[in-house]
Amino acid sequence: MTDPVYSMARIATGPTLFVAGQVPSTEDGSVPENAAAQTELVLSKIATILADHGIDWPAVVKLTYYLCDISDLTAVREVLRATLPHPRPTATLVEIGALIDPRFRVEIDAIADLGPTSG
C-alpha cells in the first residue's frame, strides 16, 4: 500500500485532547445520504473542534471510525486521503450494527496531541 490512510504508531508529547465521536448531522438535523458526504461533514466538525483548541490535523494521533456497512470503506478512505496530512493518524476501524440515528453511516472520534507543555 503506497498511500496508507493511517500510520502504525504516533507518539504524543504533551497534553491530549479527546474528541468525542462526531456524527453526520447538521445543526438543523439534516444528514447527507452517502458515506462520503457524511465523512466530509464529520471531519469538518472534528476540524472545527481542533481549531477551537488552536490545533489542526497534524496534531491528531488517533482516529476511530465506526461504519455501519463495511462496503462504505472505499468512499470513506477517499475522503480521508483527501483531508488528512502526512503523517496520518493511527486508526481503528469498527463495523457496527447501528448508530444512534438510522440515517448515520459513519461516526469518527479523535485523539490529538496538544504538544509539550511550557514551563
User: What do you get for the CA distance between the two ends of the chain, in Å?
Assistant: 42
Q: Which three cell numbers stand for residue 24?
A: 453526520
pLDDT at 12: 72
pLDDT in tens, 62-119: 999 999 999 999 999 999 999 998 888 999 999 999 999 999 999 999 999 988 653 3
Q: All domains of the chain, ordered by start, with CATH?
A: 16-113 (3.30.1330.40)
Phi-psi region of 2 (alpha: psi -120 to 50; beta: other; left: phi over 0): alpha
Name the pTM for this structure.
0.88
Phi, psi of 90 (to 5 degrees): -70, 160
* C-alpha 104, offset from chain centre: 15
Mind listing the pLDDT tens digit for each residue in 25-75?
999 999 999 999 999 999 999 999 999 999 999 999 999 999 999 999 999
